[in-house]
């Protein structure tokens, strides 16, 4: 897809995500809106994956470590052909495969279960190291939240990745400055993130994580630095694309009422008209 097509797809994903949250009466819509552009670029431009063969040994691996944003991943997977788009309507319903956090044993295209924060990056380091040991060229990409980077397990993984020279690993930090109930700056402020990752031996780039051109440029394979894992600090807005949700901590897992849903959907529809 070209940039305009990617922007349109991201908007489609946001609309479907919004409707699913409204219908289910639950979800983590703020963080889903902030990460949607990143997911869209990965699945429709960057990752070497095949929905017809989701366990291909040569596929790229992607882990959504901020697993509470699972719905955005499910919608993206449905648009990419991994699951039936109609299945999105079952989100959080009894016996649905589409739980509040991704489950590898149930959903094609999900590489590992996530939910407890701080697990995705350590697992990704193991995947990237396995590729190196096997002489394979597939890449591993993981998205964490910025609040999630307060977890000590991430920093142990960061040290290990640098020690092993995992230049086939990319960490994307969804830096929307908000976590559940508070701003990052008011809890355990780990910003600025770039100098910390650089001090551990990573190659680091900062981008606007809601700008499709910047995302695609940063994720291009040409940006790999030999011998160094990469970190992309993606500055995003929680609730991006919806005026009253944007940069608003209340929308971590709030559900829109009927009037709010109507306004939000109108704004998303207007954005592509």
Count of the separate structural domains present in the chain = 1
Nearest to residue 183, comparing CAs of 116, 250, 239?
250
CATH number of the domain bearing residue 122: 3.40.50.970
Cβ atoms 258, 239 nearer than 8 A: no
For residue 273, the model assigns a pLDDT of 59
Question: Of 200, 134, 195, 141, whose CA–CA distance to 165 is shortest?
Answer: 200
Consecutive 10-residue averages of pLDDT for the chain (273 residues): 97 98 96 98 98 97 97 98 98 97 97 95 98 98 97 98 98 95 91 98 98 98 96 97 95 95 97 73
CA dihedral sign, ordered 14, 15, 20, 23: positive
Indicate the Cα dihedral angle 21, 27, 29, 30, nearest 10°.
160
- Residue 249: the pLDDT is 92
Q: Which domain holds residue 158?
A: 3-271
How many Cα atoms occupy the beta-carbon half-sphere of 149 within 13 Å? Answer: 26
């Amino acid at each position: 897809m070209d940039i305009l097509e990617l922007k349109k797809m991201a908007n489609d994903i946001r609309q479907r995500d919004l409707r699913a949250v409204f219908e289910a009466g639950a979800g983590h819509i703020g963080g889903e809106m902030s990460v949607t552009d990143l997911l869209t670029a990965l699945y429709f431009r960057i990752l070497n994956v095949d929905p017809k063969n989701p366990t291909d040994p040569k596929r790229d691996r992607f882990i959504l470590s901020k697993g509470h944003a699972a719905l955005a991943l499910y919608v993206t997977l449905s648009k990419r052909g991994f699951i039936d788009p109609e299945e999105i309507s079952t989100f959080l319903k009894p016996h649905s495969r589409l739980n509040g956090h991704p489950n590898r044993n149930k959903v094609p295209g999900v590489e590992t279960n996530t939910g407890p924060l701080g697990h995705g990056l350590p697992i990704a380091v193991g995947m990237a190291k396995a590729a190196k040991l096997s002489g394979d060229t597939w890449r591993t990409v993981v998205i964490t939240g910025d609040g999630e980077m307060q977890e000590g397990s991430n920093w142990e993984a960061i040290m290990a990745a640098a020690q092993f020279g995992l230049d086939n690993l990319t960490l994307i930090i969804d830096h929307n400055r908000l976590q559940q109930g508070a701003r990052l700056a008011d809890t355990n402020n780990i910003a600025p993130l770039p100098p910390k990752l650089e001090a551990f031996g990573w190659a680091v780039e900062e981008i606007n994580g809601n700008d499709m051109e910047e995302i695609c440029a940063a994720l291009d394979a040409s940006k790999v630095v030999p011998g160094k894992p990469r970190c992309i600090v993606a500055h995003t807005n929680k609730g991006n694309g919806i005026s009253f949700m944007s940069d608003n901590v209340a929308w971590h897992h709030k559900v829109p009422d009927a009037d709010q849903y109507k306004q939000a959907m109108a704004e998303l529809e207007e954005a592509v008209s």
